[in-house]
Structure 1
Amino acid sequence: MDKGWMFLADRWCDEYRNGLEKFLTMAKQHKGDKPKVRCPCRKCRNVKYYSVHVVESYLLYKGMDSTYTYWKFHGETLPNENSNVHSCCDNEHEINANNAEVNDDEMQEILEDIYWGTFNEEELNGGSNKEVSFRKEDELEKFNRLFKDAKRALYPSCKKYSILLFVVKLLHLKVLNRWSNKSFTMLLQLLKDSYPNDNLLPSSYYDSRKLLGGIGLRCDLIHACKNDCILFWKEYKGLDHCPKCLQSRWKINDGKGKKVPQKILRYFPLKPRLQRLFISRKIASYMRWHKEKRVEEIGVLSHPADGESWKEFDKKFPWFAEDARNVRLALSSDGFNPFNNMCNSYSMWPVVLINYNMPPWVSKREPYFFLSLLILGRRSPGKDIDVFLQPLIDELLELFKDVWTYDSVTEQCFLLHAALMWTINDFPAYGDLSGWVNKGKMACPCCNDKTDYQPLRNKIGYLGHHRFLLDNHVWRNDGKKFNDRVERRLKPRELSAEEILEQLKVVEGVTLGKNLNTKKRKRNLEERNWTKKSIFYQLPYWKDIPLKHNIDVMHTAKNWCDNIMGTLLNLENKSKDTDKAWRDLEDMDIRHELQLHRRNGKLEKPQACYNLLPKERQGFCEFLSSVKYPDGYAANISRCVNIKDGKISGLKSHDCHILLQRMLPVGLRGFLSTDVYTLICEVAKFFQDLCSKKLRLEEIEKLEKNIVMILCKLEMIFPPVFSIL
């Protein structure tokens, strides 16, 4: 039998497929009643057994092992080894000489992995009578074109790049360097004119994206109500008006086919993206790192898997913890203005998922952050963000049950499960996602209705931190240093999951949306500060997670830094040392040395111990501008300093993070009194320890005690309006 078809580069040509059909006919006759045969592809090499359908697909997409020239495992009885080898080599030489092709093994391997990631276990085991997915017309057309493009040279004399590899690399450069679509099209036109006339380079960005149509991950555009009441999705998909507020779905509807929706949610499905992780051999090995390669030290926290919440989840769901490939996710969301202009009222809320299976130095890289939702609109979604989270929650429910996924490491399919472990946000977004309003008299979600608050002139202050001290601490009896109240109460008790669910029964079924029917609804006393039962409770495991919502340490550090720097330097609109703050002290009848004094018919403001003089402000700013930082560390700090006025403005979150931890203890030395300077050093040390890579359990207990002392000292030194969160 002629075996030259084995060495053809184009495995979609008629000659290869005819030879493959003859080989499979012989293999079927040889296997008899056996359900499976050996697979002679380049990977399996006659070691693994599959059904004839699967063997056919492996040989079609991976090619046959070039050393398997005597088909003894598939029924060949009269081998003629030498003649076959020579004829095959001659045939291969003729093919390479007559066709302008390149050996793009890297791209070929990627395409093979992507294709096989779409198979389920039933198809791989040959247990189904229906045709496998590669026989579907759309799949056949996509992968046929992609595999051909991976072999077609960019131009006839090019031996290094195929058209597919060249376009992929160009698009990668576009993303890394943030080229616009217009500039990318101009570059393609220049390259197309520069290369030989018969080159295959696309002429526009649209054509290049179309070339990769079979590889990319999709984005679903879901129409939303103008008032954030519903998504026009599932049972509401065919409606033209919102059933709750009766607003039209369309901004423009001329009746002639031109329809512009009021609002669009962009949803990026999670399931195919998780499956894509296991298609790559390198990334699939990372997905087991948290259990198989992570070094666990007793009494040390270096990874979320060392925390109590992770371990408690494993105890509740031991079947989930058995397989290291099951994915654990965290959700984060925040709003920003995409136009860098706060005068323009527009909000963009991305919802990002983070994968904790991978090593920390890999999972925190930008390519492994999953952008799941992109919420656009004139206003922030607020508590109505649950409406937009519906597609993600539905997919998380499906992923917690099981999803067939192909693992390129074991070359087998398995049942993949995924779970959302917690959320990480700043404090305002914490309230939107949890359903607890974190402002007003009961702002603290941990203290619940036992939050200690103090009405002030222009806001509510959260004082009484000496309530969290030890029972016999001397500061509990010294109310004049705090809120003029001797504290005998214990710290608030942490509520259990059952108690929280009992509170949430009052707000079940609350109508979401910004329509007139819900805009002016007032909460009653039984509801406390709850506005809704969070959509996350639809997940069957959410009520069992001890730590559901986390506060981002970077946002918290920025708030601390802004308040401290604004008060020390007396920055406009950022200083907490205001006239109203001093009158608050008079109303509370505490700290008389800081109260306003009337002299000659005018109110005079005494110099506080935490205020820097103009020369001291200039000296501190000179120090900050003189520091030389490593590249990419905190170079923005020097540009934000105004030495002449002694002011700082325009700091980013990371700049505040560095300023609070490293710069303040050094730069403020000699400018402040001992007690104020010591307090700022304690704050800096607290954040340094909190942000370290490894934390021992005894250090965490120490930090928990230290933060109570720090908050008490802040309350004793700074004005009552000095709010951190």
Structure 2
Amino acid sequence: MDRSWMIKPRITEEYDNGVEAFLKFAKEKAPDITGVYFCPCVKCLNGRQQSLDDIRTHLICDGNCPSYTKWIWHSELPQMSSTPSTGPVNEQVDDHIEDMLHDLGQEGFRQAHAPYYEKLNNDSKKPLYIGCTKCTRLSRVLALVNLKARFGWSDKSFNELLLLLKSMLPEDNTHAFADLRNCPTCGVSRYKVNSDECTADATTYKDRPSKVCWYLPVIPRFKQLLANVEDAKNLTWHADGRIKDGLLRHPADSPQWKTIDQLYPEFAQDARNLRVALASDGMNPFGNLSSNHSLWPILLIIYNLPPWLCIKRKYIMMSMMIAGSRQPRNDIDVYLEPLIEDLRKLWWVEGVDVYDGNANETFRLHAMIFCTINDFPAYGNLSGYSVKGHHTCPICEKDTSYIQLKHGKKTVYTRHRRFLKPFHPYRHMKKAFNGTSESDSALIPLSGHEVLD
């Protein structure tokens, strides 16, 4: 493709046509589901990602980097043919590693991204793992990225592939992003910075992480709990000491507990297997509404215990604390990963060997999340369900009854009387409500699979 337009005056028609040709090339060759691409203007120098409209504005108003003649940041390899190559991708990439590093050595790029350039240069000489003589770390990463771009892999599938390859490689192989100070996708610093700009050369506050998560492993604490004679005895109270008269005195009397017993009889066979509730909510530790610091504790409540012990501070386990300037929002699943991994290990398929101090024996302990405790906004973060808008009720869904306030623009949800008993007196009270009676019956709650769909 002709690159002569890059040195033309920006007011010429030839330059405008060249910009449009570049944008078309980037959209076709480097597809991105997020809709952002590296901007080659003289200010961004392929260090920031922008939308196509923003890139067009930058190129016309600020100009492009004239030395960026091989568009390697937009999926173009040196001497790339217009027809797909039938040869192995690895050979195609390996043959041009030196050329690509030479292109990266342009003065504008080196000045703006000196640490990044040095890392690329080092990775081009470092073997993928100790003893590997066939390939370098950089060549394999470029080969994988080339495959992703050629066949349109999603980011999720590509991440799963990287995790699989990491587990197949020897233990001494290194993670490509382990030493990066900035996110390779959005460029945000991993550490707190002095300025609002999270650039690679920003001064950090002694490498203090911008987001911190403390995890207190739950498996050792479960082991210590069962090793105590009294605690181990109390953990079977729901099966041995509970009054079973049909009344709801304990979570074990609930339909949910009984349904789990029917679905997983092997889990229900041993009363010592734990059923825990996961509770979470955000809090301000300083009691100041203007503070920009928030904490999200993740608590586990053991429902095997008697009701008067479940809510005691001694038996409520703080498993995790997420601290930062903002709440984790939908990214909370990233922070919950170590806890979820331990709970998956404790599920009935695998379990953990634990000593029972009351029975003086070792048994295989299993555990499950029985329920979650949270308010509606936290429910949205934990489940990924949308809790804003007109159809926010997970039970009513499309049949959610709402009113949009004319002046406040807020959404008000109505017709809660549908969930009362058929002959409840509130159903016929008109003046106390919206001037009408309620005759419709309660909606049938959707199952978990239906909500997910």
TM-score by length of 1: 0.34
- Alignment partner for residue 192 of structure 2, among 251, 259, 269? 251
Q: Please state if 1:284 is matched with 2:232.
A: yes
Aligned residues: 270
Matched with 1:357 is 304
- Alignment partner for residue 336 of structure 1, among 283, 307, 312? 283
Deviation track 1:690-723 (CA, whole Å, cap 9, x = no partner) reads xxxxxxxxxxxxxxxxxxxxxxxxxxxxxxxxxx
Distance 2:380 2:343 in 1: 22
Instruction: Give the drift of 1:481.
Output: 6.2
Instruction: Decide whether aligned partners of structure 1 residues 323 and 468 sit closer, same or farther in structure 2, where only a CA change above 3 A counts.
Output: closer
Matched with 2:414 is 463
Q: Is the 8 A contact 1:350 1:374 kept in 2?
A: yes
Q: Is the 8 A contact 1:463 1:482 kept in 2?
A: no
The range that moved more, 478-487 or 256-265, is 478-487
Matched with 1:494 is 445
Matched with 1:266 is 214
Q: Percent identity?
A: 42
- One-letter amino acid of the structure 1 residue matched with residue 264 of structure 2: F
Instruction: Decide whether aligned partners of structure 1 residues 481 and 318 sit closer, same or farther in structure 2, where only a CA change above 3 A counts.
Output: same
Matched with 1:147 is none
Instruction: Decide whether aligned partners of structure 1 residues 470 and 418 sit closer, same or farther in structure 2, where only a CA change above 3 A counts.
Output: closer
Deviation track 1:247-273 (CA, whole Å, cap 9, x = no partner) reads 232336999995322221100111111
Q: Is the 8 A contact 2:235 2:272 kept in 1?
A: yes
* Secondary structure in 1 matching 2:346: helix
* Secondary structure in 2 matching 1:301: coil
Matches within 5 A, 1:258-407: 259-297=207-245, 299-400=246-347, 401-407=350-356
* Secondary structure in 2 matching 1:300: coil
Q: Is the 8 A contact 2:394 2:446 kept in 1?
A: no
- One-letter amino acid of the structure 1 residue matched with residue 189 of structure 2: S
Instruction: Decide whether aligned partners of structure 1 residues 465 and 254 sit closer, same or farther in structure 2, where only a CA change above 3 A counts.
Output: closer
Deviation track 1:158-181 (CA, whole Å, cap 9, x = no partner) reads xxxxxxxxxxxxxxxxxxxxxxxx
Q: Is the 8 A contact 2:225 2:231 kept in 1?
A: yes
Instruction: Decide whether aligned partners of structure 1 residues 478 and 351 sit closer, same or farther in structure 2, where only a CA change above 3 A counts.
Output: closer
- One-letter amino acid of the structure 2 residue matched with residue 291 of structure 1: A
Instruction: Decide whether aligned partners of structure 1 residues 409 and 381 sit closer, same or farther in structure 2, where only a CA change above 3 A counts.
Output: same
Matched with 2:373 is 424
- One-letter amino acid of the structure 1 residue matched with residue 230 of structure 2: K
- One-letter amino acid of the structure 1 residue matched with residue 304 of structure 2: N
Distance 2:283 2:183 in 1: 27
Instruction: Decide whether aligned partners of structure 1 residues 447 and 238 sit closer, same or farther in structure 2, where only a CA change above 3 A counts.
Output: same
Instruction: Give the drift of 1:395.
Output: 0.9
* Secondary structure in 1 matching 2:231: helix
Instruction: Give the drift of 1:355.
Output: 0.9
- One-letter amino acid of the structure 1 residue matched with residue 396 of structure 2: C
Deviation track 1:508-559 (CA, whole Å, cap 9, x = no partner) reads xxxxxxxxxxxxxxxxxxxxxxxxxxxxxxxxxxxxxxxxxxxxxxxxxxxx
Distance 1:480 1:363 in 2: 43
- One-letter amino acid of the structure 2 residue matched with residue 305 of structure 1: A
Distance 2:320 2:258 in 1: 29
Distance 1:270 1:378 in 2: 26
Q: Is the 8 A contact 1:404 1:415 kept in 2?
A: yes
Distance 1:239 1:264 in 2: 17
Instruction: Decide whether aligned partners of structure 1 residues 450 and 285 sit closer, same or farther in structure 2, where only a CA change above 3 A counts.
Output: same
Deviation track 1:333-383 (CA, whole Å, cap 9, x = no partner) reads 111111111121211110000111222222321121110110111111222
Deviation track 1:65-90 (CA, whole Å, cap 9, x = no partner) reads xxxxxxxxxxxxxxxxxxxxxxxxxx
Q: Please state if 1:446 is matched with 2:395.
A: yes
Q: Is the 8 A contact 2:280 2:298 kept in 1?
A: yes
Instruction: Decide whether aligned partners of structure 1 residues 467 and 366 sit closer, same or farther in structure 2, where only a CA change above 3 A counts.
Output: closer
Instruction: Decide whether aligned partners of structure 1 residues 281 and 453 sit closer, same or farther in structure 2, where only a CA change above 3 A counts.
Output: same
Distance 1:287 1:317 in 2: 19
Instruction: Decide whether aligned partners of structure 1 residues 388 and 486 sit closer, same or farther in structure 2, where only a CA change above 3 A counts.
Output: same
- Alignment partner for residue 436 of structure 1, among 381, 385, 390? 385
Q: Is the 8 A contact 1:332 1:353 kept in 2?
A: yes
Matched with 1:238 is 178
Instruction: Decide whether aligned partners of structure 1 residues 416 and 461 sit closer, same or farther in structure 2, where only a CA change above 3 A counts.
Output: same
Q: Is the 8 A contact 1:464 1:482 kept in 2?
A: no
Q: Is the 8 A contact 1:355 1:369 kept in 2?
A: yes
Matched with 1:415 is 364
TM-score by length of 2: 0.54
Q: Is the 8 A contact 1:349 1:375 kept in 2?
A: yes
Instruction: Give the drift of 1:292.
Output: 1.9
Distance 2:394 2:338 in 1: 27
Instruction: Decide whether aligned partners of structure 1 residues 412 and 236 sit closer, same or farther in structure 2, where only a CA change above 3 A counts.
Output: farther
Distance 2:261 2:329 in 1: 32
Distance 1:303 1:450 in 2: 33
Q: Which has the larger radius of gyration?
A: 1
Gaps of at least 5 residues in structure 2 are 1-158, 167-174, 194-200
Deviation track 1:133-165 (CA, whole Å, cap 9, x = no partner) reads xxxxxxxxxxxxxxxxxxxxxxxxxxxxxxxxx
Matched with 2:27 is none
Deviation track 1:569-623 (CA, whole Å, cap 9, x = no partner) reads xxxxxxxxxxxxxxxxxxxxxxxxxxxxxxxxxxxxxxxxxxxxxxxxxxxxxxx
- One-letter amino acid of the structure 1 residue matched with residue 352 of structure 2: V
Instruction: Decide whether aligned partners of structure 1 residues 477 and 388 sit closer, same or farther in structure 2, where only a CA change above 3 A counts.
Output: same
Q: Is the 8 A contact 2:213 2:321 kept in 1?
A: yes
Instruction: Give the drift of 1:426.
Output: 2.1
Distance 2:424 2:345 in 1: 52
Matches within 5 A, 1:34-73: none
* Secondary structure in 2 matching 1:349: strand
Distance 1:467 1:254 in 2: 58
Distance 2:425 2:303 in 1: 44
Distance 2:358 2:186 in 1: 52
Instruction: Give the drift of 1:236.
Output: 7.7
Instruction: Decide whether aligned partners of structure 1 residues 491 and 276 sit closer, same or farther in structure 2, where only a CA change above 3 A counts.
Output: same
Distance 2:427 2:243 in 1: 44
Distance 1:406 1:472 in 2: 54
Distance 2:252 2:304 in 1: 9
Instruction: Decide whether aligned partners of structure 1 residues 437 and 498 sit closer, same or farther in structure 2, where only a CA change above 3 A counts.
Output: closer
Q: Is the 8 A contact 1:463 1:483 kept in 2?
A: no
Distance 1:280 1:306 in 2: 26
- One-letter amino acid of the structure 2 residue matched with residue 454 of structure 1: I
Deviation track 1:426-482 (CA, whole Å, cap 9, x = no partner) reads 232222222223333123222122110011131222223344466788987887764
